[in-house]
């Protein structure tokens, strides 16, 4: 459970969102226990993939909600001050910049980064989880690192 929470935090840069994402991931795992694909007798790659998918869905939903909120004049809905403060912390801000750069990567590179760099899976486990050759995952990681270096230098 701790590994999934850590992965969720790396994906969201928010403690509370990581807790919610971890809960949702295990709830889905419970519901689909017969469909879980084990990699070397471990469900961790499957759980990381589910957490990544749920994080992307949550991000899209939040974006739509905020856009709708900005269209409503003098809305009585207030943004949670605690979330605003949390995003101003240096560690969270840095993580948010990194995650923005990761999200801008092409899908194939982003998947490799989420599983291997953020999820700390080995390239062989990630390759098996994605149904690819290990050399393909290593190549995707190499390209992703080059892209991330460039993007993060531009932000600095």
Q: At residue 147, does pLDDT exceed 90?
A: yes
**Topology at the third CATH level for domain 2-155:** Arc Repressor Mutant, subunit A (1.10.10)
9-58: pLDDT as tens digits: 888 888 888 899 999 999 988 998 888 888 888 888 889 988 988 888 88
pLDDT at residue 66, as a whole number: 72
For range 124-143, the mean pLDDT? 93
CA–CA gap between residue 112 and residue 83 (Å, rounded): 29
Confidence of residue 89 (pLDDT cuts 50, 70, 90): low
Residue 30, token pair as written in the block: 């419970």
pLDDT at residue 84, as a whole number: 60
Q: At residue 87, does pLDDT exceed 60?
A: no
For range 129-134, the mean pLDDT? 92
The contacts of residue 37 (CB under 8 Å, 6+ apart) are 45, 46, 129
Which range among 12-26, 91-105, 137-151 shows the weakest confidence by mean pLDDT? 91-105
For range 100-107, the mean pLDDT? 91
CA–CA gap between residue 101 and residue 113 (Å, rounded): 11
* Mean pLDDT, the chain, integer: 83
Say if CB 56 and CB 42 are below 8 A apart.
no
pLDDT at residue 10, as a whole number: 85
């Amino acid at each position: 459970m701790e590994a999934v929470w850590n992965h969720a935090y790396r994906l969201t840069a928010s403690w509370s969102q990581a807790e919610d994402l971890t809960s949702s991931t295990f709830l889905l795992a419970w519901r689909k226990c017969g469909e879980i694909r084990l990699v070397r007798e471990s469900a961790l790659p499957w759980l990381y993939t589910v957490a990544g998918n749920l994080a992307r869905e949550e991000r899209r939903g939040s974006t739509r909600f905020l856009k709708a909120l900005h269209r409503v004049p003098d809305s009585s809905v207030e943004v949670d001050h605690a979330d605003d403060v949390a995003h101003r912390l240096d560690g969270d801000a840095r993580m948010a910049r990194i995650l923005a750069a990761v999200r801008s990567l092409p899908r194939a590179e982003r998947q490799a980064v989420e599983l291997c760099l953020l999820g700390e899976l080995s390239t062989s486990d990630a390759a098996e989880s994605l149904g690819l050759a290990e050399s393909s995952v290593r190549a995707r990681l190499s390209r992703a690192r080059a892209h991330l270096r460039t993007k993060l230098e531009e932000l600095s």
